[in-house]
Amino acid sequence: MSIGNSPEDERPFPAESQEARPSVGRALQQARIAAGLTVEQVSSATRVRIAIVHAIEADDFAPCGGDVYARGHIRTLARAVRLDPGPLIAQFDAEHGGRPAPTPAAPLFEAERIRPERRGPNWTAAMVAAIVVVIGFVGFTAFKGGDDSGDAKSQVAEGTTPSAGKSAVPTPKKNKPAEPTGEPSDSAIAAAPQDKVTVQVSAPNGRSWISAQDHNGRMLFDGLLKKGQSKTFQDSSKINLILGDAGAIELYVNGKKIEDTFRPGAVERLTYTKGDPVAG
């Protein structure tokens, strides 16, 4: 007969079930419904496309274009439905391999520095050769000129005249037309036609996923705009834009720069028409 706790009493307490916690998409959906909002209202408030909102609520983050953009969408949607985005982003990171580490700048510069350089021509040898050629040409010209002057003097003494082929009359030079002094505009976007809407999207500060549609909803571009790249879109009446990371983008609409200050990582839905640029 044993004294003490029975084996049943020594069994560990059952761990709290992970299924009790809803998924990231399910949590956002429940909060939206509790707030009395429709998907269309959330999309209009956050400028996140309706299709992407539906996909996130179904825990499908592929349409976001990557984990960085998915985290930005989660943060934006959580704030719209009055949820703390911190726990949701932490849950997303735990389920998708952790938070993406920022790309260090030093290795990039190091890679540029150690990239094998193309071996250029030997400029020292070329300069020496050029100097030798110039000196030889000057000496030959001086020697030839002395002979020519002697021939001329002998011809004058003999009463003859130099041949017409050696006439000293200089040939008048034609003046080049003055080149236009006006500098070209910074971009072809400055000459945008007045009867259309022209939008130029540049990414000088980093890469960003962008989407552009014309007034009929036809997709003009849907993809990643890398740092330093730019795209120009034109339509007869309207251009619809979605910027995955608006903070990395500069916009020129109908020749005018858009001065809106977009936050890094913010998703922006914009519409521009003819006339003065107006964000939709």
Q: Is the pTM of this model over 0.85?
A: no
Do 67 and 100 meet the contact criterion of CB atoms below 8 Å apart?
Answer: yes
Do 262 and 229 meet the contact criterion of CB atoms below 8 Å apart?
Answer: no
* Count, residues in the chain: 280
Q: How confident is the model at residue 176 (pLDDT cuts 50, 70, 90)?
A: low
Identify the pLDDT of residue 25.
92
Mean pLDDT over all residues of the chain?
75
Beta sheet of 230-235, edge-to-edge order: 230-235, 197-202, 250-253, 256-257
- Backbone φ and ψ of 73, nearest 5°: -65, -40
Q: Which residue has the tokens 């349409």?
A: 63
CA gap 67, 65 in Å, rounded: 7
Q: How confident is the model at residue 129 (pLDDT cuts 50, 70, 90)?
A: confident
Cβ contacts of 250 within 8 Å, gap of 6 or more:
201, 202, 203, 204, 205, 257, 258
Identify the pLDDT of residue 93.
93
Identify the pLDDT of residue 113.
43
CA gap 182, 160 in Å, rounded: 56
Reference 241, options 199, 278, 277, 276; nearest CA is 199
Judge whether residue 47 has pLDDT over 70: yes
CA gap 74, 25 in Å, rounded: 9
Give SS3 for 99.
Answer: coil
Q: How confident is the model at residue 209 (pLDDT cuts 50, 70, 90)?
A: confident
Judge whether residue 34 has pLDDT over 80: yes
CA gap 122, 112 in Å, rounded: 23
CA angle 107, 109, 110 (to 5 degrees): 60
Judge whether residue 23 has pLDDT over 60: yes
Reference 18, options 72, 69, 94, 127; nearest CA is 94
Q: How confident is the model at residue 54 (pLDDT cuts 50, 70, 90)?
A: very high
